[in-house]
């Protein structure tokens, strides 16, 4: 009995850690974390805003001390020619220099007025933005810059907002104009950055947007393409979420297109699973009304029915299924997962570990029967 309890406790701790890690950023639009300007500002030791002296090339006069102590009035630093020409033509701009320890000052960023404002905000909120309560404020702050005319500012805004958990992105969507979203999606130079805008579009109630999402999803399915398939998968299900019956039909159709077929590639299946993995997860601190709870239960049931088909045809993906069931904190498909764990040789050691952990902790979750 003690052994069983310890196994369950171990599984719970492991799976909660997995959930916590996944909650920090939406895995669909932020698959590889990148260091942002705000991150660099927060981590820096010394920052100064400077301008080049007109009569002394490469000699920069301190306009403003941003962070740190012991800063001289001027310094000799190499800055590339294009930045120096740009600086000379724009009197409100500055060059941001940084220094760490006893190192020489070096170029940190070009500072337009907007960049300076972002740096000031990061400095003023550096401690708060790293707390749980401050992260949402940080996402919301950068949300306003997604439509900035400066592409460098837009890039920073994307990297910041894309870190938000999916439940927050859904709340941000109404704050983005649909025409602005369509404008971003029409720019194929940034196709790898489209997922954020696809997810925001998925919350639109406009019939043209819903039809557009359906067309894009079925086009990918027809041609076996994977470009932003995870985001379009999420958007497809969200676009059909007017009622539980419609959602169930959408997941069943997705299951027919992908999970029931043996000719789908591993890349396709993993992308679809990633798209589904953000669905059905609720904010445990939020108060949910009875109707919302009913819809959530029905959505989870439809997902489990789809996963049942997936496990029958693609057992090598059992680990991803177990992880989502753990994040949903429901007890389902344990017999199927247990059989795969015992018999399936094709699953990876990592998948076996996740399945074992989920099976250990699943008795603590509410049972979801099909």
List pLDDT tens digits, range 112-168. 999 999 999 999 999 999 898 899 999 999 999 998 999 899 999 999 999 999 989
Choice between 164 and 9, residue whose per-residue pLDDT is larger: 164
Distance in angstroms (rounded) separating the CA atoms of residues 85 and 105? 20
Distance in angstroms (rounded) separating the CA atoms of residues 105 and 120? 19
Query: Is residue 20's pLDDT more than 70?
Result: no
- In which band, very low, low, confident or very high, does the pLDDT at 60 lie, cut at 50, 70 and 90? very high
Residues whose CB is less than 8 angstroms from the CB of residue 10 and which lie 6 or more positions away in sequence, other chains included: 357, 360
> What are the CA-CA distances from residue 178 to residues 143, 147, 173, 202 (Å)?
14, 12, 9, 10
User: Contact, 87 vs 94, CB < 8 A?
Assistant: yes
User: Contact, 259 vs 306, CB < 8 A?
Assistant: yes
Query: Is residue 18's pLDDT more than 80?
Result: no
- In which band, very low, low, confident or very high, does the pLDDT at 14 lie, cut at 50, 70 and 90? low
Nearest residue to 284 via CA among 272, 276, 293, 275? 293
Query: Is residue 6's pLDDT more than 60?
Result: no
Give residue 240's Cα distance to chain centre.
Answer: 22
Domain ranges of the chain: 39-112, 228-364
pTM: 0.87
Distance in angstroms (rounded) separating the CA atoms of residues 60 and 365? 62
Q: 12-21, 64-73, 109-118: which range is least confident on average?
A: 12-21
Query: Is residue 4's pLDDT more than 50?
Result: no
């Amino acid at each position: 009995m003690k052994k069983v309890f310890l196994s369950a406790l171990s599984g719970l701790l492991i799976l909660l850690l997995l959930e916590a890690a996944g909650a920090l950023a939406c895995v669909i639009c932020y698959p590889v974390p990148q260091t942002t300007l705000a991150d660099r500002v927060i981590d820096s030791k010394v920052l100064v805003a400077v301008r080049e002296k007109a009569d002394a090339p490469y000699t920069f006069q301190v306009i403003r001390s941003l962070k740190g102590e012991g800063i001289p009035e001027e310094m000799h630093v190499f800055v590339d020619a294009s930045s120096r020409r740009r600086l000379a033509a724009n009197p409100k701009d500055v060059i941001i220099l940084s220094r760490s320890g006893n190192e020489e000052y070096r170029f940190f960023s070009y500072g337009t007025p907007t960049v300076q404002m972002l740096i000031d905000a990061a400095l003023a909120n550096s401690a708060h933005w790293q707390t749980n309560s401050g992260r949402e404020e940080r996402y919301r702050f950068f949300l306003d810059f997604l439509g900035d005319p400066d592409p460098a500012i837009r890039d920073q805004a994307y990297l910041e907002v894309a870190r938000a958990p999916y439940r927050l992105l859904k709340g941000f969507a109404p704050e983005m104009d649909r025409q602005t979203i369509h404008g971003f999606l029409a720019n194929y130079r940034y196709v790898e950055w489209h997922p954020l805008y696809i997810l925001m579009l998925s919350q639109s109630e406009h019939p043209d947007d819903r039809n557009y999402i359906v067309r894009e999803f079925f086009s990918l399915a027809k041609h076996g393409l994977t470009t932003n398939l995870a985001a379009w998968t999420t958007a497809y299900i969200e676009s059909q979420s007017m009622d539980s019956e419609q959602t169930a039909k959408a997941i069943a159709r997705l299951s027919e297109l992908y999970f029931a077929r043996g000719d789908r590639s591993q890349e396709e299946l993993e992308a679809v699973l990633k798209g589904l993995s953000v669905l059905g997860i609720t904010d445990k601190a939020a108060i949910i009304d009875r109707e919302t709870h009913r819809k959530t239960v029905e959505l989870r049931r439809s997902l489990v029915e789809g996963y049942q088909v997936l496990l029958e045809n693609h057992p090598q993906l059992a680990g991803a299924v177990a992880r989502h069931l753990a994040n949903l904190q429901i007890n389902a498909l344990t017999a199927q997962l247990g059989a795969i764990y015992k018999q399936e040789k094709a699953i990876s050691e990592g998948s076996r570990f996740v399945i074992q952990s989920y099976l250990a902790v699943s008795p603590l979750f509410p049972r979801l029967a099909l």
